[in-house]
Amino acid sequence: MLLDELLNGFPRERFLQEHYQRRPFTGASAAERLQRLGTWETIDFLVEETACDVLLARQGVPYPGGRPTTAKAARELFAQGYTLALRQPDLHHPELAQLARAFSSELHGRINLHIYCTPAGHHGFGWHCDPEEVFILQTAGRKEYLLRENTLHPVPLPESVPSGSLAAQEKTPVETHSLGAGGIIYIPGGYWHMAQAPEEALSISMGLMPPTLLDLLDGVRATLASSPVWRRRMPSLGRASTLDDPRKLELLRTLLSELSGELQRQLAEPGYPLRFLAQTARFYLRSTGIRGSGR
């Protein structure tokens, strides 16, 4: 398994029990084949020959210009201190797509892949947190990762990620993790973090978004939406309504009671867990839609 390669002898069961979705992990990976994907050759190809999204920032400030369209332009910005973040490169590169597909199937979740290039003595992005479970493989150079537990807004959803400025209000201790080439760090979803590069550094970041309990509810909603009973409209509840406020509240309580009963029936339906597993096992669909010439 890819996860076993990354853990490099650290027991997978122990990682899943003690670290995954709980606390950070660092180690030396055995995934040398992946290190070959996080190189300037790959970056030059993605910048110059594909439409891969490129985000640039220096010391937490986004680059005000447009996306570089040549490898030379990208390297010039890098020399000026800008971190390059190549977002979703797996859409344009078959081997990166294979990596994302494998990781998605092993840990069961949506994948958000990035390649980071950070100049020596700089950081691209300040304190922030991600909703995903983040696995970072250092492919070249060295980085210092600063981490602290998020107690102010833990386990954020993708649509409600808190601002990095909130990290300054945390009381949890700051941990420092040093990563050299071939090293891996796992950052639990929601953990505050930032990285500094004492020397030029390249890395592949794999963010994995597992299903949430809300996804279980969304699956039931899709079933209810197929029924005209649950698509029916409520009567007028505005000022023109013939119902007074107590009767409006009584009506809503009745409907909520009916919905509660239906949700319980749907969630207890014996075949639903299997359908949910099958639906969420198809998280990674990009493998059939890679764009660009690839190599």
pLDDT tens digits, one per residue of 17-57 = 999 999 999 999 998 889 999 999 999 999 999 999 999 99
Tell whether the model's pLDDT for residue 295 goes beyond 80.
Answer: no
Torsion of CA 137, 139, 140, 145, to 10 degrees: -10
| Structural domains present in the chain | 2-209 (2.60.120.650), 214-288 (no CATH)
pTM greater than 0.75: yes
Confidence bin at 122 (pLDDT 50/70/90) = confident
Candidates 21, 33, 284; CA nearest to 137 is 33
Tell whether the model's pLDDT for residue 285 goes beyond 70.
Answer: no
β-sheet with 83-87: strand ranges across: 25-28, 183-187, 133-140, 201-209, 110-118, 83-87, 53-58, 61-62
